[in-house]
Structure 1
Amino acid sequence: MKLNKRLWGYIAIFFITFFAINIPIPYYIEKPGSAIPLEPMVQVQDGFHDKKGSLSLTTVRMGPTNIGGYLYALVSPYADVVNVGMIHSPHETDEQYSQRQLEIMKFSQDTAKIVAFQRAGYDVKIKNSGAIVMQLLPGFAAENVLQIGDVIIGVNEAKVDTATGLIEALKGKENGDLVKITYLRDGKEQTVNLELKPLPVATEDGKKKAGIGIASPITSRTFTLPKEVTIKSEEIGGPSAGLMFTLEMINQLSPDDITKGYPIAGTGTIQEDGSVGPIGGIEHKVVAAEREGMKYFFAPSLTTEPGEKSNYDEAVERAKDLDLKMQIVPVETVDDALRFLGKLKPL
């Protein structure tokens, strides 16, 4: 009898463990990732290398979890669980989300190139060249034809130069209308006729606009740089390394070491005007930077809503909670970061 009870206990433990490991739940787990030096990743033609200090982007380890991971995150100070709906739209698959993140990363790198060369005193000529497809809504005409990364350059006979231009070109169209979409895929121009349907979200007056099923497009740009730049970011996605890419390119364009010999990390999006925007997961990124021995960490201090905490506020709170020794530096623009670096005493 005792043997049977023990056997059934083992069986119960086995099945509990099996279900905890193998049954997916609608949550992602987030943990500190890495602080990755940018100098080996970014190469500016005839750039200055062999600098004593370093500039690093920071990452968050994130992925689907199970019951076991969920329970672990509840007790660990270094992990969080996030509902999958907070990570990506319910209208896109994990594969589509990953592809969208890579496209956003490319856009962020292009913006970083523009800002870096401008701050280094070069003239950069920029030309808007279309609207990049970033997200496709299920059940709409675009889903079966277009792909993430396609560049829309025309609607009917109207030329489309920007994401806003695409929205304007579709404005006033009604349910059932056909529109001719001209787009580029891998540099090849193609056209397709798409039928409009009511979009899922109503406007303030309760009416639903008609659309082809494209969400969150971004502007495609062509620009000319005086030097060639190659960036090998592998499978890292998203816009959050924009500031650090910008600083790394500025450092390679300068004979001086802007880091003054220190290991420096940070995060934040970059806009063409040089402003640094907020990102997600900064509470994990500061931990990753501390573990890699960073001396300073740049954190965005701009907010999107009045009264909300900034990334800088969140980073400082996490640093106090975990007794991190690294200095958190608030930045609103790339110029704030450059001014801070300019005041550092060389090692």
Structure 2
Amino acid sequence: MSEERLITRNRSGRGSHSIPWLFVLAVVLLGTVFFVPTPYYVTRPGSAIELAPMIDVEGGKKDESGAFMLTTVRMGEANLAWYLYAQLSPNAELMKKELVVGSGESNEDFTRRELAVMDNSQKIAEAVAFRLAGYDVKIENQGVWVMGTIEGMPAKNVLQIGDVIVAVDGRPTREAKDLLQYLSTKKQGDQVEVTLIRDGREEKRTLTLAPLPDSKTPGLGIRPDNKQEIIVPKQVSISSQGIGGPSAGLMMTLEIYDQLNQEIDLTRGYKVAGTGTISPDGSVGRIGGINHKVVAADEAGADIFLAPDDAEGPVSNYQEALETAKRIGSRMRVVPVKTVDDALAFLKAQKPKSSYSE
């Protein structure tokens, strides 16, 4: 008996000494899984958010029996855990970092750019909606919007995303083509004085032109867009809750127009989700991650999903959305739209949901 008890104590002792090593091993493994980065971002379904609480139009009405909903994608840097999750989940996918964040661009730059694009999308949505409602809208070019800077070029670490270039060497640059035309008269090594608006203040910077990576022509090294002032006759307040990107343009247009329109409830009692960029002429453009947005809309109980019927890729956003809806067994009706008029025509043709027998 004494020998047996001695053996038991020895075994117990060995086990107690092994516990700390198991704990250390577990901590190391968890640290590896959750803190070791990968060269990927992971994207997955976000949410479907009702727009009426987010948008207020002066003198507008909010008597929708249904709802217009924007849809989002969750995106973040993929640690090893998210990498493994994306390998197993049909509703998550990996994207190489360089396809999400530009060369030399920080996460802060990416966020700033996405919010700037969202702001521009809101203004265009206002313009399109007010024009549809019969109001006069003024659109004036304000300058060249800096939407990114190129690593190793003069603008890097001097200009910021969101800066608006209003003049170069005292010459107005109301749109990107004005900037490009003037710089085409210069040569590598020439210095130019850039006048810009940053956070509402005018500032000046002197930059030395360098050959652009692709064309080798002298330039600043920015990714430009046109900054426009859009003036509508009524006040519009949009609380986008930190959502970035241009893909809510179509749905914001529909919500603003519905608040301006006094004749018909465009929702017809349905939960109408969707996505797509909006252009000043009312055309609807392609977006990324539509498969995730379909899942988000379905989980939120949407009845209808409006999808861009574009020709920019081998497969249109509409076809992607339709395939995803079939894969997850969704009962949503997926509707192709090329313009905001297509969306309005479809919605106006629907019988109110209450007229259907459940």
> What TM bracket, shorter-length normalisation?
over 0.9
User: What SS does the aligned partner of 2:312 have?
Assistant: coil
Alignment equivalent of 1:120, drawn from 108, 115, 133: 133
State the AA in 1 paired with 2:342: D
Unaligned segments of structure 1, at least 5 residues:
none
With normalisation by structure 2, the TM-score equals: 0.90
For residues 95-122 of structure 1, give each alpha carbon's deviation from its aligned partner in whole angstroms, at most 9, with x where no partner exists: 0010000000011111101100011111
User: What SS does the aligned partner of 1:329 have?
Assistant: strand
Write the distance in 1 (CA, Å) between the matches of 2:199 and 2:86.
42
State whether structure 2 residue 261 is matched by structure 1 residue 248. no
With normalisation by structure 1, the TM-score equals: 0.93
State whether structure 2 residue 341 is matched by structure 1 residue 335. yes
Write the distance in 2 (CA, Å) between the matches of 1:10 and 1:98.
38
Deviation at 1:212, TM superposition (A): 1.5
Write the distance in 2 (CA, Å) between the matches of 1:14 and 1:230.
48
State the AA in 2 paired with 1:326: M
Tell me if structure 1 keeps the 8 A contact 2:124–2:230. no
Deviation at 1:12, TM superposition (A): 3.5
Greater shift, 265-274 or 147-156, is seen at: 147-156
State the AA in 2 paired with 1:292: A
State the AA in 2 paired with 1:214: I
Tell me if structure 1 keeps the 8 A contact 2:142–2:226. yes
Greater shift, 23-32 or 137-146, is seen at: 137-146
State whether structure 2 residue 326 is matched by structure 1 residue 320. yes
Alignment equivalent of 1:231, drawn from 235, 238, 251: 238
State the AA in 2 paired with 1:283: N
State whether structure 2 residue 265 is matched by structure 1 residue 264. no
Residue of structure 2 equivalent to 1:184? 197
State the AA in 1 paired with 2:90: P
Write the distance in 1 (CA, Å) between the matches of 2:27 and 2:155.
47
Write the distance in 2 (CA, Å) between the matches of 1:125 and 1:274.
15
Unaligned segments of structure 2, at least 5 residues:
1-10, 354-358
Deviation at 1:7, TM superposition (A): 6.5
State whether structure 2 residue 103 is matched by structure 1 residue 90. yes
Q: How does 1:1-347 map to 2 (within 5 A)?
A: 3=15, 11-201=24-214, 203=215, 208-215=216-223, 217-255=224-262, 256-305=264-313, 308-347=314-353
Write the distance in 1 (CA, Å) between the matches of 2:64 and 2:118.
26
Higher Rg of the two aligned structures: 2
Write the distance in 1 (CA, Å) between the matches of 2:234 and 2:117.
23
Write the distance in 2 (CA, Å) between the matches of 1:15 and 1:76.
25
Deviation at 1:6, TM superposition (A): 7.4
Deviation at 1:25, TM superposition (A): 1.1
Write the distance in 2 (CA, Å) between the matches of 1:140 and 1:81.
29
Write the distance in 2 (CA, Å) between the matches of 1:68 and 1:230.
40
User: What SS does the aligned partner of 1:104 have?
Assistant: helix
State the AA in 2 paired with 1:240: S
Write the distance in 1 (CA, Å) between the matches of 2:74 and 2:167.
39
Tell me if structure 1 keeps the 8 A contact 2:63–2:265. no
Greater shift, 82-91 or 328-337, is seen at: 82-91
Greater shift, 316-325 or 134-143, is seen at: 134-143
Write the distance in 2 (CA, Å) between the matches of 1:139 and 1:252.
48
Count matched residues.
339
State the AA in 2 paired with 1:315: A
Deviation at 1:282, TM superposition (A): 0.4
Write the distance in 2 (CA, Å) between the matches of 1:214 and 1:6.
57
Write the distance in 2 (CA, Å) between the matches of 1:114 and 1:15.
55
Write the distance in 2 (CA, Å) between the matches of 1:138 and 1:79.
30
Write the distance in 2 (CA, Å) between the matches of 1:27 and 1:262.
37
For residues 48-82 of structure 1, give each alpha carbon's deviation from its aligned partner in whole angstroms, at most 9, with x where no partner exists: 11321100100011101211111111111221111
For residues 236-265 of structure 1, give each alpha carbon's deviation from its aligned partner in whole angstroms, at most 9, with x where no partner exists: 000000000100000000122111111100
Greater shift, 145-154 or 40-49, is seen at: 145-154
Write the distance in 2 (CA, Å) between the matches of 1:116 and 1:28.
35
